[in-house]
């Protein structure tokens, strides 16, 4: 990787991947591109930033040509809950945006990282120890766009030789940039609420278990996969990767060990509860571990400790 473009750089993953890649490859070699969210000062002052609507093919091509890009981390996407409110818009961004990136990668010989999700699975998928290769049939527009994305990346690799790679991320937890419009957002909101108010009303049921991952591990997975010897990869796209399978009650209990007066309530959002129940509880990620050395560093206690440490200086209740 010499010249990198990150689409969706102002989002939850992009805002953390950008500084890590800039530290590794040089600030001027990592172009951050965003569209909906305004970039923060760190993003714009540490290296090149441009506004980019991935739905506009000539705009994608122009950015790649201007900067001589050889690697694209394509993160621009609508998340699950907001995609259910605007399904056609989600298809436009998540699929037409990806096709534009893949077409540019084909003509400009770029490698592409594409993040799929546990959302690419559905109610017919084995919910525990979900295999790498299994039935998907998602019932959300978000999941349909992610399965389509996995298949498109595989097609462009097989038919055009484009170096596409990707993982199926679980819910991602981070303290820098809150996610927007996701079903797993509760796992981030709970920390802000615990530190500000010592109470959180969760929109998922207490026992709703889902795969989760702390952002440093998610960043490591993306970079490790993209730096790995492509000739040794078999699956290439949509690798199951996870770090922990937890419920809101599990996270609340771990927070309470550090904030004894924290309490949690439940105000269920039927839409996001329905989405969560259509996803697996725990994926088998042994294929990623065997093929390219995937290994998470943060379990539930370590993640909670680090989240509270980083957020407490900003949000501690008086």
Q: Which residues bind ligand VAH (CB under 6 A)?
A: 79-80, 117-119, 142, 170-172, 179, 182-184
Comparing CB distances to ligand VAH, the nearer of 105 and 172 is: 172
Question: Residue 181 CB, nearest distance to ligand VAH (Å)?
Answer: 7
- Name the minimum Å distance from CB 266 to ligand VAH: 18
- Residue identified by tokens 């989405």 is 275
> Toward ligand VAH, which CB reaches closer, 169 or 292?
169
Mode of pairing for the β-strands spanning 128-130 and 282-283: parallel
- What's the angle, vertex CA 312, arms to CA 306 and CA 315, rounded to 5? 135
Q: Which is nearer to ligand VAH, 33 or 213 (CB)?
A: 213
- Contact present, 281 and 245 (Cβ < 8 Å): yes
Question: Which residue, 123 or 230, has its beta carbon nearer to ligand VAH?
Answer: 123
DSSP 3-state assignment of 147?
helix
- Could you tell me the CA-to-CA distances from 265 to 201, 204, 246, 249 in Å, in that order? 4, 10, 17, 10
Determine contact, residues 115/13, Cβ cutoff 8 Å: yes
Placement of tokens 């796209």 in the chain:
237
Nearer to ligand VAH, 112 or 172 (CB): 172
**Which single residue is written with the structure tokens 């725990």?**
282
Instruction: Name which of 105 and 275 has its Cβ closer to ligand VAH.
Output: 275
Least distance (Å) between residue 117 CB and ligand VAH: 4
CB of 53 to ligand VAH, least distance (A): 21
Annotated catalytic residue, options 142, 156, 169, 186: 142
The one-character DSSP state at 38 is P
Sign of CA dihedral 286, 296, 205, 87: negative
Shortest spacing between CB 87 and ligand VAH, in angstroms: 14
Least separation in angstroms between CB 272 and ligand VAH: 8
CB of 268 to ligand VAH, least distance (A): 16
Nearer to ligand VAH, 252 or 275 (CB): 275
Apex 55 CA angle, 86 and 181, nearest 5: 35
Tell me whether residue 25 is one of the annotated catalytic residues. Answer: no
Q: Where do the DSSP E strands lie in 3-141?
A: 4-7, 30-34, 49-51, 71-74, 111-117, 128-130
CA distance readout (Å), 165 to 86, 115, 202, 203: 27, 9, 34, 33
Cβ-proximal residue to ligand VAH, closest one: 182
244-246 and 210-214 beta bridge pairing: antiparallel
* Separation CA 184–CA 237 (nearest Å): 22
Annotated catalytic residues are 142
């Amino acid at each position: 990787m010499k010249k990198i473009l990150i689409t969706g750089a102002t989002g939850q993953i992009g805002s953390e991947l950008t500084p890590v890649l800039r530290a590794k490859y040089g600030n001027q070699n990592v172009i951050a591109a965003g569209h909906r969210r305004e970039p923060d000062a760190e993003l714009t002052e540490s290296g090149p930033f441009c506004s980019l609507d991935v739905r506009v093919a000539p705009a994608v091509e122009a950015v790649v040509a201007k900067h001589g890009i050889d690697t694209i981390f394509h993160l621009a996407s609508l998340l699950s809950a907001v995609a259910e409110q605007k399904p056609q818009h989600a298809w436009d961004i998540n699929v037409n945006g990806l096709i534009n990136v893949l077409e540019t990668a084909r003509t400009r010989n770029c490698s592409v990282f594409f993040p799929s999700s546990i959302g690419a699975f559905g109610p017919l998928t084995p919910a525990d120890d979900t295999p790498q290769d299994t039935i998907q049939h998602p019932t959300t527009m978000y999941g349909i766009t992610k399965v389509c994305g996995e298949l498109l990346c595989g097609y462009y690799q097989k038919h055009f030789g484009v170096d596409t790679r990707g993982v199926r991320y679980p819910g991602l937890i981070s303290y820098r940039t809150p996610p927007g419009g996701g079903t797993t957002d509760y796992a981030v909101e709970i920390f802000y609420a615990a530190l500000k108010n010592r109470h959180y009303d969760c929109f998922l049921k207490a026992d709703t278990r889902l795969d989760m991952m702390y952002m440093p591990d998610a960043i490591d997975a993306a970079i490790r996969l993209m730096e790995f010897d492509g000739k040794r990869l078999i699956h290439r796209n949509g690798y199951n990767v996870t770090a922990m399978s937890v419920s809101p009650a599990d996270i609340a209990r771990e927070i309470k060990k550090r904030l004894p007066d924290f309490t949690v309530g439940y105000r269920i959002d039927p839409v996001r509860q329905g989405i969560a129940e259509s996803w697996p509880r725990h994926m088998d990620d042994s294929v990623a571990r065997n093929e390219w050395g995937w290994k998470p560093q943060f379990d539930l206690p370590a993640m909670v400790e680090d989240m509270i440490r980083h957020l407490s200086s900003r949000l501690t209740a008086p």
